[in-house]
């Protein structure tokens, strides 16, 4: 048997109606079953992020909660390719330790104590300094930590616990909240004077005096006052330390797609970077160009080949939640040893595009890897102009530009005419790269074409550091605008590219902005691309797609026009014929439906047309012919309540109540909750 394993490609530095995150009802932890309440309120209470907790409380079933818990731990697994989960084991080991050793002087378990909370959050200290037998100072314990900068903490710091008034459980000491006075047993001085208390502590033990004011070694202060940085450390930075390296976006995605993505995917969300842009082509059709770069792409090795399999699902819905367009792609990927070696240290960028009619939409994309059962997603708002009014598109910043693409004239993601753009979703540029800028302006008036001008500004912290002004008439194509900018003189930093359109009176008419980043590195790692070309804009396939989008928008006339155009370009296409037949049925052109559908009954593609032919014949009063088509539909596709009821109606119109009764009773066997059908059956039987 061939050995199979999963090869992970780690990348350096993302239909059913979608349920909104905000529509979920947040529950109280008191509503949870005891097992899940214990997990939330005891086991992970110090390490769960606020977003994760919010999502967990919105889950509705135990199945969903179990999936979430699995995903929760997977996000924290330092070695996901091994069966051992070091983080989880260490976490529960800490809980066991604190329950055994802390909380002895309080009614609650050790995990509830201040010492237990800090130990679970930060782990064991590097050193422990106990001061429990000093005659003038309350019992005091100092925990010292260092080397935890990756968690957003100082390089070195102390955490101090003391027995307030010398009794009970050790409490977390705050220099701001308590001050050095609270550490002294017989302090009789001014309760508001930190200096007097500090001096007395210094005479007893300089180390205790130092930590009474600051928990951060080496912190300088101009006066003897408690450290505000120490207060921030214990009240904010330590509690948030477990969240520092957790990407909790997965929690929102799990909630958003829990009813769509298969169970074995839901715990395996992969972060991504993405870009979604709208570009109008020369024919006037608007296309949505998008790219998604997952944080990792997994491959499975079989013999000498490496395999991955991408499943792409996209859905575009309007503001009312109605689906306007949806698409699916399945993309198998196979590499040999040499190819996988060449790309294993590179980013992966999936790029695609689709046409879309005018309107305001929500775009949801799922990208699944069926090999590793991982998924990522993109959500974006999309606006497609419905009028020819003056507007400027969003800016596209590219790090590479091919002026003579071999795909010129076709439809390919981020291809404009002959020019292929290569953008990055992060808008990151190496110091030696050129920034290529592209945008469109629609609806330019003759006045603006003749006298308007564009100003290109590079801003840093709202200060203009570079500017270029060009007249509109200097551009041969006054719709598609390209410019390029050398970055060699820009130091590493974040910048803003601003493009402004001015009229002849120097009034700003339009503007667009986009942030970009210049790295100190001379070169940046760039991805290998998987890009899907589409048919040309004049192809019947794209015309048919646009026609169906108008149909879903309830614009019947535009839908009919485009679906007819697609059909007459390719009358042998079953899909085009079916789509046109459906819209013709809606416009009650039943004879035309028959003219289009009947030729397809001569070959193996006939089955898809039986229902539409049956409905059209029934509408024309050709009941016997309709019954024949309906029965052929049932013989191929199986039992269907709607078809059975239609057969009953046709027989009823032919006064064949016996056959009508047979059809309707069969329908009621499948679904007895049909009041109208019940009434008809009852009426027939009573007449007998």
Q: What is the pLDDT of residue 141?
A: 97
Please tell me what DSSP assigns to residue 222: S
Name the residue with tokens 């939330």: 40
116 in a structural domain: no
Q: What is the pLDDT of residue 344?
A: 85
- The predicted model scores a pTM of 0.82
Cβ-based neighbour number of residue 510 at 10 Å? 16
367 in a structural domain: no
Q: What is the pLDDT of residue 17?
A: 39
Q: What is the pLDDT of residue 159?
A: 98
Q: What is the pLDDT of residue 392?
A: 97
Final residue in a domain of this structure, among 203, 224, 242: 242
Final residue in a domain of this structure, among 210, 242, 274: 242
415 in a structural domain: no
Q: What is the CATH number of the domain that holds 568?
A: 1.25.40.10
List strand residue ranges (DSSP E) for 341-492, in order. 348-355, 359-369, 374-384, 391-392, 396-402, 415-416, 419-423, 428-429, 434-442, 453-460, 463-471, 480-486
Q: What is the pLDDT of residue 12?
A: 37
Q: What phi-psi label fits residue 214: left (phi over 0), alpha (psi between -120 and 50 degrees) or beta? A: beta
159 in a structural domain: yes
469 in a structural domain: no
Q: What is the pLDDT of residue 307?
A: 95
Distance CA 182, CA 196 (A): 12
List strand residue ranges (DSSP E) for 72-222, in order. 127-131, 140-146, 156-162, 171-172
Distance CA 155, CA 148 (A): 6
Check if the beta carbon of residue 71 is closer than 8 Å to that of residue 256: no
CA dihedral 17, 20, 21, 26 (to 10 degrees): -100
Cβ-based neighbour number of residue 133 at 10 Å? 7
Label residues 588-619 b or e (16+ Cβ within 10 Å = b). ebbebbbebbeebeeeebbebbbbbbbbbbbe
Angle at 228 (CA atoms; ends 224, 232), nearest 5 degrees? 155
CA dihedral 379, 554, 608, 651 (to 10 degrees): 140
Final residue in a domain of this structure, among 219, 242, 265: 242
Distance CA 260, CA 435 (A): 39
Angle at 448 (CA atoms; ends 444, 452), nearest 5 degrees? 130
How many separate helices (H) and strands (E) can be counted in the chain?
22, 25
Residues with pLDDT less than 70, the chain: 1-27, 191-192, 222, 604-605, 688
Q: Of 184, 189, 86, 88, which Cα lies nearest the Cα of 135?
A: 184
| Beta-bridge partners for 286 | 280
67 in a structural domain: no
**How many domains, the chain?**
2
Neighbour-count burial of 422, counting CB atoms closer than 10 A to its CB (0-12 exposed, 13-18 middle, 19+ buried) = middle
Q: Write the pLDDT tens digit of every residue in 566-613.
A: 999 999 999 999 999 999 999 999 999 999 999 998 876 678 999 999
Range of the domain at 551: 540-687
457 in a structural domain: no
Distance CA 365, CA 375 (A): 10
């Amino acid at each position: 048997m061939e050995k199979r394993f999963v090869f992970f490609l780690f990348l350096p530095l993302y239909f059913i109606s979608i349920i909104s995150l905000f529509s979920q009802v947040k529950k109280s932890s008191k509503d949870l079953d005891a097992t899940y309440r214990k997990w939330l309120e005891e086991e992970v209470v110090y390490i769960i992020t606020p977003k994760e907790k919010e999502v967990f409380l919105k889950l509705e079933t135990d199945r969903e909660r179990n999936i979430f818990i699995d995903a929760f731990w997977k996000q924290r697994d330092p070695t996901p390719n091994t069966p051992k989960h070091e983080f989880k084991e260490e976490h529960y080991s800490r809980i066991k330790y604190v329950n055994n050793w802390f909380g002895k002087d309080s009614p609650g378990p050790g995990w509830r104590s201040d010492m237990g909370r800090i130990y679970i959050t930060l782990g064991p200290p590097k050193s422990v300094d106990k001061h429990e037998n000093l005659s003038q100072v309350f019992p005091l314990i100092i925990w010292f930590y260092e080397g935890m900068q990756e968690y957003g903490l100082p390089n070195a710091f102390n955490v101090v616990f003391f027995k307030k008034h010398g009794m009970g459980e050790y409490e977390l000491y705050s220099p701001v909240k308590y001050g050095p006075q609270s550490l002294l047993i017989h302090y009789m001085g001014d309760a508001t004077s930190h200096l007097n208390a500090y001096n007395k502590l210094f005479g007893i033990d300089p180390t205790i005096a130092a930590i009474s004011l600051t928990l951060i070694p080496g912190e300088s202060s101009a006066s003897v006052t408690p450290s505000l940085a120490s207060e921030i450390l214990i009240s904010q930075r330590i509690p948030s330390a477990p969240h520092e390296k957790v990407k909790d976006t997965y929690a929102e995605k799990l909630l958003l797609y829990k009813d769509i993505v298969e169970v074995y995917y839901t715990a395996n969300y992969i972060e991504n970077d993405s870009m979604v842009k709208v570009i109008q082509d020369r024919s006037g059709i608007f296309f949505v160009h998008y790219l998604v770069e997952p944080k990792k792409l997994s491959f499975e090795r079989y013999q000498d080949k490496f395999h991955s399999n991408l499943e792409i699902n996209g859905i575009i819905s309007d503001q009312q939640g109605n689906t306007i367009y949806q698409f699916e792609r399945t993309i198998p990927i196979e590499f040999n040893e040499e190819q996988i070696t060449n790309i294993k240290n590179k980013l992966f960028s999936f790029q695609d595009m689709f046409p879309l009619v005018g309107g305001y939409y929500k775009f949801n994309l799922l990208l699944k890897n069926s090999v590793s059962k991982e998924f990522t997603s993109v959500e974006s708002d999309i606006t497609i102009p419905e009028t020819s009014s003056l507007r400027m598109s969003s800016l596209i910043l590219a790090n590479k530009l091919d002026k003579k693409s071999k795909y010129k004239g076709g439809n390919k993601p981020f291809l404009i005419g002959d020019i292929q753009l290569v953008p990055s979703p992060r808008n990151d540029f190496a110091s030696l790269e050129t920034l290529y800028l592209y945008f469109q302006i629609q609806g330019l008036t003759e006045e603006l074409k003749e006298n308007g001008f564009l100003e290109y500004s590079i801003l840093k912290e709202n200060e203009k550091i570079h500017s270029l002004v060009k007249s509109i008439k200097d551009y041969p194509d006054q719709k598609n605008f390209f410019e390029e900018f050398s970055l060699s003189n820009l130091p590493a930093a974040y910048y803003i590219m601003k493009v402004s359109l001015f009229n002849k009176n120097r009034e700003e008419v339009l503007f667009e902005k986009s942030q970009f980043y210049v790295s100190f590195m001379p070169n940046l790692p760039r991805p290998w691309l998987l890009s899907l070309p589409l048919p040309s804009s004049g192809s019947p396939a794209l015309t048919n797609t646009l026609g169906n989008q108008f149909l879903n928008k309830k614009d019947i006339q535009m839908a009919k026009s485009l679906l007819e155009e697609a059909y007459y370009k390719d009358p042998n296409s079953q899909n085009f014929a079916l789509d046109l037949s459906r819209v013709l049925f809606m416009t009650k052109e039943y004879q035309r439906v028959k003219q289009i559908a009947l030729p397809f009954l001569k070959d193996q593609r006939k089955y898809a047309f039986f229902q539409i032919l049956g409905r059209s014949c029934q509408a024309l009063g050709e009941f016997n012919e309709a019954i024949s088509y309906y029965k052929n539909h049932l013989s191929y596709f199986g039992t269907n309540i709607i078809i059975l009821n239609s057969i009953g109606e046709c027989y009823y119109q032919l006064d064949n109540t016996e056959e009508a009764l047979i059809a309707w009773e069969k329908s009621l066997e499948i679904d007895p909750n049909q009041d109208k059908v019940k009434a008809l059956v009852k009426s027939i039987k009573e007449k007998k």
